[in-house]
Chains A and B, each alone.
Chain A
Amino acid sequence: MVGIVIVSHSWKVAEGIYDLAMQMASENEHIIAAGGMEDGSIGTDAMKIQEAIENADTGDGVAVLADLGSGIMSAEMAIEMLESDIDVRIADAPILEGAISAAVTSTSGASLDEVIEAAEEARTASKLS
């Protein structure tokens, strides 16, 4: 199953998105929230994200959903620092909607490409029509 890592500056945001995603993907044990700094303050920590990616991977790869600015930069650094060969991609998607689409798609047994595609579709989906 494709793993999912949720990266936010705020651990509350990451945990909250995790909770929402888990409502629809309760059997998925490979979704991990990597929010905030070690001491709980707001920020992103590449080492924490790296560890989350390693823990989320089952061999099928990992999709990363990140919020703004350093969320993306720290996720990219984390991917570059990986010691094992893990197939990881960052979805170009809004973090909340993207994470939910990714979680549902991953739980259905889809490939990493399909999970990323599902997350990125959330970018163009209209909410009002």
Chain B
Amino acid sequence: MASKIYECIEKIGNRIIEEKEFLTELDREIGDADHGINMARGFSEVLAILPKDSDNIGELLKKTGMTLLSKVGGASGPLYGTAYMQAGKVCAGKTSLTPEDGKAIFEAVIAGIQKRGKAVKGEKTMLDAIIPASEAYSAAIDGGASLPDALDAMCKAAEEGVEFTKTIIATKGRASYLGERSIGHQDPGATSATYTLECIRDFVKGM
């Protein structure tokens, strides 16, 4: 029987693969038209190699990260690769997670992406979805909100982050070559990060 963590990663992978064309279109506007192709290639391989029945959360996240690192090809490879591997470290040896673990995962993921890509909030990258999502989630949990409410707040913040990327100039990644012409377009990586968070929310709510 497939483990919960496998099913969650599978849900994310399937969503990314479904959105391949759209993510690639977004990257055509402000990049090199490959974000969806890159991510779908990575997740196809993840779904092919991940052991379905293992409930070792740390191990599955690490394997996902290593596979994305090698198969994605674009900047999102080392960035998502690092993100999943850092999440895997936080979850080492765990077979279940608490709402508090979610906060620790976010912190490790953000630190990893920032170390790798040297970007901060406001540079029109995936961080513009992930950082506000993390802040909203942690604030909700700390304020005593229920897990479903915290996950809703997380996704709402991520979606607002994607909207925000339309208003700013890219200063990191391929889109930075466009300068001001990058305004008006949403960031592909922030979009795929938001899909990821939505899948996690929907999965956890359905558990």
Question: Which A residues are within 8 Å of any B CB, using their own CB?
Answer: 9, 37-38, 41-48, 69-70, 73-74, 76-77
Contacts and interface: CB of A to CB of B under 8 A. Distances in A.
A76 B79 CA distance: 11
Interface residues of B, number: 19
A45 B78 contact: no
Contacts, number: 55
User: Ordered nearest first, which 6 A-B pairs have the shortest CB separation?
Assistant: A43-B73, A73-B78, A70-B75, A47-B70, A77-B78, A46-B69
Interface string B57-77: 000000000000111111101
Interface of B: 34, 38, 41, 69-75, 77-79, 81-82, 116-117, 173-174
A79 to B, nearest CB: 12
A72 to B, nearest CB: 9
Contacts of A47: 69-70
A69 B75 contact: yes
6 contacts: A42-B34, A45-B71, A69-B74, A70-B73, A73-B75, A76-B116
Contacts of A44: 73-74, 77
Given A42-B34, A69-B174, A77 B116 contact: yes
Contacts of B70: 38, 45-48
